[in-house]
Chains A and B, each alone.
Chain A
Amino acid sequence: MTSDIQVQALPVQGRRRSIDISWPTFALLTLVLSVLVLLPLFWLVYYSFRSDTGAGATFANYIALVADPTLLRAYGLAIGMALAVGVLACLIATPMAWLVARTDLPGRRTIRMLVTASFVTPPFLGAIAYEILAAPNSGIVNIMYRSVFGLEASEYLVNIYTFSGLVFAIACFTFPYVFTLVANALDKVPSDLEDASSILGGKSMTTLRKVTIPLVLPAMLAGTLIAILQALTMFGSPAILALPAGFHVITTKIWSLFQFPPRLGLAAAAALPLLIITVILLRAQKSILGRKGYTVLGGKSGTPRITELGPWKWPAIAFVFCVLSLTIILPYLAIIKTAFTGTVGDPINLSTLTLSHWRFVLFEFSATQLALRNTFLLGFLTATAVTAIALIVSYLVIRRSVPGSGFLGVLATAPVAIPGIVLGVGLFLSYANPTFQLYGTIWILLIAFMTIELPAGYQQMSSAFSGVHPELEEAGRIVGASRLRTLWDITAPLLRTSVVAAWCFVFVGTIRELSATILLTTANTKLVSVIIYDLNESGDLGAICVLGIILLAASFAVVFIANRVPVLGGSQMNTRG
């Protein structure tokens, strides 16, 4: 290359005067997020001070909250149940996480996969599976017990319609939270910390007790708090198991206040303490995980040290198998069996196998088609909208292109502290009034789902954005691409995999939502999760299991397609480093 082509600069041609659209975008997003997050909370507070009989401002609702024994009892039972779930989940999950992460237990990888897969099980489906297994009369376990010992029809071994049954059923599907956090923490405790204890003379049990366990304690506590929170704010499982047992927890109690005659003000007042408890628990969790000195949990280095189980191998295998049977294998077998046999109690043989439930659900039951269409439409819309909003918000926040954009991040994360049922109440109060009239349309559900899923979507997108070095974008700008062009040509392709993953995550989360849905749905806007709940009231377990299988199959199919189709990102990017 010689000097004759040197200094003539090549200007970028055809440039239009670029307009900075980050301010209008910022303003629009602030508005949208405020409507999604703040509006329902505002109406919630407003209605909690309104009398249900229509006369002005009042403290009557709050007085009722303290004075009404049924409400207090519901709160007490809910908190008791949640604590019990937390303790049980922690007791099951911690030893299991240790066995999987730090011992030579065979099949560790499979166990980890199975536990992670049980995240996908909607808790209400788990509750129904336990109805099939352990209802006092028709439960499979009790039927077998009676036939083995030749007992009367009134005898039973286990009864899921009890407080302890409810705790058990919820713990089965919340222990993965504790398990995953503790197992990941154990993976990350570098072996040199333990080696340091050994070289100073600590025996392996001493090292475990004095070094390893204290290091994963924050993860244990944080996981337990999440389990408690999940149990406390759950609607599906308590509604399925506690109502037949004759007691209310707070979520079902709030729901019952919406039954005729509706007592909206009281419901609003009853929902607020739940919101406050949630915020407190989340703050506690954050401060536990954020404590200094435990930073090693984010660390690197060293393969974890593996303990040889020796003679303890068989008891360990028995323990893990027992846990997996109760939480995954038995519930799924029960669901599959019920979907393909006439009634729950039927033995399995050729004459009892039937597709009648499938025929009923797919072709005879009038609500199915509408519910399926609504569910998948909403799943699709929510996932798309949430991913898009999360993408733009995290761009504005991470790249700090507008002063004050951090506020958007706060707004996008805030709904994580709003339990589904509380949001349901808030949205009902916001949009069921004559001004908006969104109640009874699927749009109110769309708003609810967007709000619920926003924090998860935002978290995924913002961590993806921090993975894209800002210099990659600056390199595009300096060679002549505008901000939007850079986003399209450089940032977007680099984020594609994460966007697809976030989309799937939101989709799967949406199609199984029940807590907020139950207050916002009407006959025209039934969803699969709601008709599962309705069918449970009429006792049609076969049809429920068919719908449950469809729901799960759809979830797995979406995840599978997203991971395999190269256009959607798939694994092709990863090989290029």
Chain B
Amino acid sequence: MAFLELDGLTKSYGTLTVVKGVNLSVDKGKLVCLLGPSGCGKTTTLRLIAGFVPANAGEIRVGGKTISSAHSTVPPEGRNMSMIFQSYALWPHMTVFENVAYGLKLRRLPQSEVTKSVRTILSATQLLPLENRYPGELSGGQQQRVSLARALVIKPEILLLDEPLSNLDANLREEMRFEIRRLHDEFRYTTVYVTHDQAEAMTTADMIVVMNDGRIEQAGSPEDIYERPETEFVARFIGGTNILSGTRGDKDSVVGEGGLVLRCGSGSTAASGKTAVSVRHHDIELSSAKPKSADTNVTVGTVTRQIYLGSHRDYLVSIAGGETVRTVAPVNVAIPVGQEVWLHFPPEKCRALAQ
């Protein structure tokens, strides 16, 4: 049975509903990423789980016990969770040691045990030499690790992370992604991680939940989300893609406005009316002559922009029907702007999207 369950969870502020009936089950020991653009309701969902905001409808259950519902909310301090905040929220008047020890002291553990646990976690996060420093005397990455240590030391039932890496510079951010995954593999806490950075989600998560406008668009493993997006939003948000719209053809094909027929290897088309196909930039094959092998999934277009990026070239090609396709090609495929070019969309890379 799932350990953490969100059931029809809804939150409104006045007339504005920011979380609209979210259903989600998280198994024990898994790391789940809530991923979405800003304003999609992911942080509010996290704060609902933490108990900082009461729900308007629906329930949150942990291990089968309801902790939030429209009628009652267990306060944050009664949930045995811990959280890592965007600002780290280290208490500036306490040393590293005191910051980490605070949660244990609240649990009235004997001093010797507190010291032992704090030292253990500080060495796991490589902070032991800094235990007597104040947060103001630490670098950004060190503050981040103190924040992790403080959250982990109390052995929470659920660990919550609210965009924990957004204040770090690019290099450190990459390093800390792996650090978070490493600590998760070591301690196996059920974790909910909020981010708007897909690379962060891909690196750390067992399951990615893509949110948009207060709803869950799709939930699944990183492979699922990237390779088998179910909606246009997910396809666009994760990894970037070309969306070609058209109407449903025979069997598994979609006919574009310019007459391009795309056979789709996966996905499902809308039963009637407009439907769409997603093809990733790097999955499109670009050549100056017409490919011989195929009669479908091929079209001709004109290069409207070409940029040299060192490792590859980035093309914009406008095709019949007025759509523009973005694709990448090896550096040695250099076709100048204005020239005719052939595009091949391999069927196994074309994913039909019903919505």
Cross-chain contact of B77 among A472, A480, A494 (Cβ < 8 A):
A480
Interface string of B134-160 (1 = CB under 8 A from A): 111100000000000011001111001
A485 lies within 8 A of chain B by Cβ: yes
A469 lies within 8 A of chain B by Cβ: yes
Query: Which residues of chain B from 31 to 70 have a CB within 8 Å of any chain A CB?
Result: 50, 52
Q: How large is the interface on A (under 10, 10 to 19, 20 to 34, 35 or more residues)?
A: 35 or more
* Contact indicator B75/A18 (Cβ below 8 Å): yes
B233 lies within 8 A of chain A by Cβ: no
Kindly specify which of B85-93, B278-286, B325-333 makes contact with the partner chain. B85-93
Query: Which residues of chain A from 1 to 54 have a CB within 8 Å of any chain B CB?
Result: 1, 3, 5-15, 18
* Contact indicator B157/A479 (Cβ below 8 Å): no
B309 lies within 8 A of chain A by Cβ: no
State A472–B189 Cα separation when bound (angstroms). 23
* Contact indicator B93/A480 (Cβ below 8 Å): no
Q: Considering only CB atoms, which chain A residue lies closest to B63 in the complex?
A: A9
Interface-central residue, A12, A475, A477, A481, by most chain B CB under 10 Å: A475
B250 lies within 8 A of chain A by Cβ: no
A537 lies within 8 A of chain B by Cβ: no
* Contact indicator A475/B156 (Cβ below 8 Å): no
Minimal beta-carbon separation of B218 from chain A (angstroms): 29
B residues near A3, Cβ cutoff 8 Å: 188
State A546–B107 Cα separation when bound (angstroms). 58
Query: Which residues of chain B from 93 to 139 have a CB within 8 Å of any chain A CB?
Result: 93, 102-104, 106-109, 120-121, 124, 134-137
Minimal beta-carbon separation of B82 from chain A (angstroms): 6
A474 lies within 8 A of chain B by Cβ: yes
A residues near B102, Cβ cutoff 8 Å: 476, 479, 481, 489
* Contact indicator A471/B86 (Cβ below 8 Å): yes
* Contact indicator A474/B76 (Cβ below 8 Å): yes
* Contact indicator A474/B85 (Cβ below 8 Å): yes
State A144–B134 Cα separation when bound (angstroms). 63
A76 lies within 8 A of chain B by Cβ: no
Interface string of A473-509 (1 = CB under 8 A from B): 0111111111101000110011000000000000000
Q: Considering only CB atoms, which chain B residue lies closest to A479 in the complex?
A: B103
Query: Which residues of chain B from 230 to 259 have a CB within 8 Å of any chain A CB?
Result: none
Q: Considering only CB atoms, which chain A residue lies closest to B50 in the complex?
A: A478
Minimal beta-carbon separation of A465 from chain B (angstroms): 15
Q: How large is the interface on B (under 10, 10 to 19, 20 to 34, 35 or more residues)?
A: 35 or more
Q: Considering only CB atoms, which chain A residue lies closest to B150 in the complex?
A: A479
Q: Considering only CB atoms, which chain A residue lies closest to B123 in the complex?
A: A1
State A481–B150 Cα separation when bound (angstroms). 14
Interface-central residue, B93, B156, B157, by most chain A CB under 10 Å: B93
B residues near A322, Cβ cutoff 8 Å: none
Cross-chain contact of B157 among A9, A14, A474, A577 (Cβ < 8 A):
A9
* Contact indicator A576/B92 (Cβ below 8 Å): yes
* Contact indicator B89/A474 (Cβ below 8 Å): yes
Minimal beta-carbon separation of A499 from chain B (angstroms): 14
* Contact indicator A479/B187 (Cβ below 8 Å): no
* Contact indicator B92/A494 (Cβ below 8 Å): yes
B72 lies within 8 A of chain A by Cβ: no
A348 lies within 8 A of chain B by Cβ: no
Q: Considering only CB atoms, which chain B residue lies closest to A11 in the complex?
A: B80
Interface string of A451-477 (1 = CB under 8 A from B): 000000000000000000101101111
Minimal beta-carbon separation of A2 from chain B (angstroms): 8
* Contact indicator B154/A479 (Cβ below 8 Å): yes
B295 lies within 8 A of chain A by Cβ: no
* Contact indicator A494/B188 (Cβ below 8 Å): no
* Contact indicator B89/A481 (Cβ below 8 Å): no
Minimal beta-carbon separation of B59 from chain A (angstroms): 20
Given known contacts A474-B89, A475-B83, A479-B154, A1 and B120 CB-to-CB distance under 8 angstroms:
yes
Q: What are 5 contact pairs spanning A and B, CB under 8 A?
A: A7-B189, A10-B154, A474-B89, A479-B150, A577-B92
What are the 6 A-B residue pairs with the smallest beta carbon separation, nearest first? Answer: A577-B136, A479-B103, A471-B89, A475-B89, A477-B76, A471-B85
Please report B residues at the A interface, Cβ cutoff 8 Å: 28-29, 50, 52, 75-83, 85-87, 89-93, 102-104, 106-109, 120-121, 124, 134-137, 150-151, 154-157, 160, 186-189
Please report A residues at the B interface, Cβ cutoff 8 Å: 1, 3, 5-15, 18, 469, 471-472, 474-483, 485, 489-490, 493-494, 573, 576-577
